[in-house]
Amino acid sequence: MNAPEIESMRARSRHLKVAGIVAAAVGGILAKIGTTSIGLFVFYLLLFFAGLGLMVYSQSVYRKTLS
Amino acid sequence: MGFLILLGFIALAALSIWARNAFWKAANQKVIMRKSHARGQSAIKATTTFVVPGSSAADVVRTVVDTLGYPTTKRAVAGEMVLLDTTDSSASFSLANKFHESWVSRLLIADKADGAHGSYQVLRWTLNDGIALGSKEMEIVARRVSEVITGMGGTVTIQVPE
């Protein structure tokens, strides 16, 4: 990998991490607030875990740029 | 009497927090994340020592820092590798963002008659429920430093105390 490719991957990992943080925060807060609809509650939980997954994935993308 | 009851509540709250932390620390280190814990501990304890014949300490520091190419400014949110400081005989690296440093490592080199002698090791680290943060990055950076030194014609020894 050359320097521009590395910087491009690092930028992608940053964007993914921010998206993950936002998704996990929104999902977590909404799930904590709660709802009377079980479907919505499941959606909030999915949003939360999708955010966590994005954060983990973004870190693995970043690690590739270190190697 | 009221004061004693308040003290009792505070002591009970502190005890329950301590018990919870101790439980998760032990559970993570011994059961749930045993392999991650073992990897993290060996990454923390590992010391890379090296000799680069015919090179000066400043050359080695410059080559390692230039090859790794880490930025000198921390990002606001994303934790990334940064170069904290560098001199002619040392360089400090960290996995950090603006609010938190997961770990800090140091490359320390001295000029000797037969070349540059130095070491690389993790100086400070952070535990989260008993597990070291960023241990994979610790391994990658230590490996990259070894590769750069070897590429300069140096000999590298990695010691991991039991």
Per domain, the residue ranges of chain B are 1-32, 34-159
Q: What pLDDT score does B47 carry?
A: 93
Whole-model pTM?
0.83
Cα separation, B62 vs B89, whole angstroms: 9
The pair of three-digit structure tokens given for residue B10, joined into one six-digit string: 């505070």
Q: What pLDDT score does B35 carry?
A: 86
pLDDT (average), residues B48-67: 94
The total domain count for chain A is: 1
pLDDT band at B151 (very low <50, low <70, confident <90, very high): very high
Which residues is B128 bridged to in the sheet?
B131
CB-based contact B136 A62, cutoff 8 Å: no
Q: Which of B140, B143, B145, B147 to mutate to test the interface with A (most CBs of A within 10 A)?
A: B140
Q: Is the pLDDT of residue B62 over 90?
A: yes
Closest CA to B128 of B14, B37, B35: B37
Cα separation, B64 vs B82, whole angstroms: 13
Q: List the single range of A15-19, A25-29, B29-33, B135-139 with lowest mean pLDDT.
A: B29-33
pLDDT band at B30 (very low <50, low <70, confident <90, very high): confident
Q: What is the mean pLDDT of chain B?
A: 91
Residue range(s) defining the domain that contains residue A11: 3-66
CB-based contact B78 A17, cutoff 8 Å: yes
> Which alpha helices (DSSP H) does B28-134 contain, by range?
34-45, 57-68
Cα separation, A54 vs A18, whole angstroms: 9
Cα separation, B25 vs B12, whole angstroms: 20
Instruction: Measure in Å the smallest separation between the Cα of B32 and chain A Cα atoms.
Output: 18
Q: Is the pLDDT of residue A50 over 90?
A: yes
pLDDT in tens, B2-21: 888 888 989 998 898 888 88
Q: Which of A10, A18, A67 sits opposite B140 (nearest CB)?
A: A67
Residue B77: closest CA among chain A residues belongs to which residue? A18
pLDDT in tens, A6-49: 889 999 999 999 999 999 999 999 999 988 899 999 999 999 99
Work out the angle at residue B40's Cα, subtended by the Cα atoms of residues B14 and B36, and round it to the nearest 5 degrees. Answer: 85
- What is the third-level CATH fold of B34-159? TATA-Binding Protein (3.30.310)
